[in-house]
Amino acid sequence: MTSNTRVFKLINRTQKYAPCALLQQRGFSLVELIMSILLTAIGATFALPTINEMVEKREFTDGAKKLTAFFSLVQVESVNRNQIVTVSYSKTHDADWCVGAVLGETACNCAQSTATDTDYCAIASVPMVLDEYDVGDNGLVKSMTGDGAYAFDPIRGLFVDSDDSLLLELQSENGNYMLDLTVNNAGQIKVCSKDAEHKVSGYPICSNGS
């Protein structure tokens, strides 16, 4: 057998088996691809609840921080201006709530949207109102406990009426997290986790329900 004949036979043999090898290679790659997609889908299914909880927690704590900042800002304004500031608050049902502030001992109406009205909540013509729309309209404030208003005296650093206090029960949209926000008659603002079941990291569990 000549060398040329052996070469041609080798080429024919390679061409004969090459398609089969190629198909086997392609089939193996397809299986790998399907398995990768399947494993990714399974992983995403398990990760989705965790992601949802993270978003819920972030939105909830952001809302709680905005409320805390509002009450702190009101007291700072009172001290800087050396004037009594009155904070009013209202909750009509699960969705509608508001807090507002005004100089003096006469409470404003935090639900008033007309700036020219005498009961509009503002300090030096700057609106001082926070409501459900400012925190994402996600049912943040579960309840409000108090008589609807309190006045802060900057000289004494206390409420004008020592019997006044405010307690806000805050709850995340799906109820997984709960906080109590308290403003006591000494002007102290405290935020704590309602209980161990609904604890928010970074906020200690409330002692004696407060």
DSSP secondary structure code for residue 121 in this structure: -
- Please report whether residue 178 resides in a domain: yes
Please report the pLDDT score of residue 114 as a whole number.
Answer: 95
- Please report whether residue 198 resides in a domain: no
How much is the average pLDDT of 59-72?
Answer: 96
* Residue 162: CATH number of its domain: 3.55.40.10
Please report the pLDDT score of residue 43 as a whole number.
Answer: 62
- Please report whether residue 89 resides in a domain: yes
- Please report whether residue 119 resides in a domain: yes
How much is the average pLDDT of 27-55?
Answer: 70
- Please report whether residue 28 resides in a domain: no
Nearest to 67 by CA among 208, 179, 156, 157: 179
- Which tops the pLDDT comparison, 21 or 166? 166
How much is the average pLDDT of 64-92?
Answer: 96
- Please report whether residue 177 resides in a domain: yes
Confidence band of 60 (pLDDT split at 50, 70, 90): very high
Q: How far is CA 93 from the centre of its chain?
A: 20
pLDDT tens-place string over residues 109-148: 999 999 999 999 999 999 999 999 999 878 899 999 999 9
**pLDDT above 80 (res 20):** no
Decide: residue 167, CB within 10 A, 0-12 exposed, 13-18 middle, 19+ buried: middle
Q: For the residues of 147-201, what is the DSSP string, one character each?
A: SSEEEEETTTTEESSTT--EEEEEE-TTSS-EEEEEE-TT--EEEEES-STT--T
- Please report whether residue 94 resides in a domain: yes
Instruction: Specify the number of domains making up the chain.
Output: 1
- Please report whether residue 184 resides in a domain: yes
**pLDDT above 50 (res 176):** yes
pTM here? 0.76
Write out the residue range of the structural domain in which residue 185 sits: 57-193
Please report the pLDDT score of residue 27 as a whole number.
Answer: 52
Tokens of 142: 């579960």
